[in-house]
Amino acid sequence: MKDYSYRGKTVVSHNGRRAFSGANATENFMASVYLWMTGALVVTGLAAILTIGPAAFNPNVSQEEAIQIALGTAVGRAVFGSQFGYIALIIAEFAVVFFLALRINKMSKTAAMLAFFAYATLNGVTLSAIFLVYSLPSIATAFFISAGMFGGMSVFGLITKKDLTKIGSICGMLLWGVIIASLVNMFLKSPGFSWVVSLIAVVVFTGLTAYDTQKLKNMQISGDGDMYAKASIFGALQLYLDFINMFLALLRLFGRSRD
């Protein structure tokens, strides 16, 4: 995002006037980031529920019964009725997030908001599959552990005076390794290898949470009100991705089958 720079101090201008300054600017900006992120998580959860149907969230329902319930919804049939539907959804999901990341400077605030929540919705539809595979208690456990880890590392990123740039660079390189290893394991189908990759992914996204939070805290923003809003949406997207990926990695490590 070329209009933003990171210099350890937040300055927000609105039509050439200083709107906030110093700590007050940081607090307002981060509050906006967390609000957008929370809204996206709520949308993701609702999309998952609507995809597989509320009845599938009954812990007494078997995996086979949950799949049949999911196939009974219009969205569930479109997504899980054929392999093509699920693949098309994943492609659309990647297309939206890359479009948002690359074009947000040229978007209006409304367009950025719609793209962000469109991605959250698509992600919810995709992630609904975990409720057909894993038991509800293990999903809840992974979610709350993720929330605790994310919250702790985000607070650390906000309060630490240590520069986390090096940690962010290391985690960024490890992330590419995780992506490549995950693709390789799609062919190997090794449970042991998958466990190791998931463990590394937890470490990577834990570190990225702290780094991304510090980066956002130190963001210097110049522009009008729309630019400020788009910066907070883009920041929310970064933290949202950190949280979701941390949650999925923990679920792969400790999740138990629905049956």
DSSP 57-89: G-TTS-HHHHHHHHHTSHHHHHHHSSHHHHHHH
- Residues 136, 59: contact at Cβ < 8 Å? yes
- 162 falls in which pLDDT band (50, 70, 90)? very high
Per-residue confidence (pLDDT) for residue 15, from 0 to 100:
46
Q: What are the tens digits of pLDDT across the range 89-136?
A: 889 999 999 999 898 888 999 999 999 999 999 999 999 989 888 988
Helix (H, G, I), strand (E, B) or coil at 161: coil
Q: What are the tens digits of pLDDT across the range 175-228?
A: 999 999 999 998 888 889 999 999 999 999 999 999 999 999 988 665 457 888
Helix (H, G, I), strand (E, B) or coil at 13: strand
Per-residue confidence (pLDDT) for residue 224, from 0 to 100:
55
Q: What tokens were used for 31?
A: 């509050």
Q: What tokens were used for 140?
A: 């809840």
Per-residue confidence (pLDDT) for residue 132, from 0 to 100:
87
Closest CA to 69 of 120, 123, 128: 128
Q: Cα dist. 157→111, 131, 256 in Å? A: 29, 32, 32
Q: What's the rounded mean pLDDT across residues 76-86? A: 82
Per-residue confidence (pLDDT) for residue 11, from 0 to 100:
45
Strands 11-14 and 17-21 come out as antiparallel
- 143 falls in which pLDDT band (50, 70, 90)? very high
Q: What angle, rounded to 10 degrees, do the helices at 191-217 and 22-52 form?
A: 140
Q: What are the tens digits of pLDDT across the range 15-61?
A: 444 444 456 777 888 999 999 999 999 999 999 988 888 767 777 88
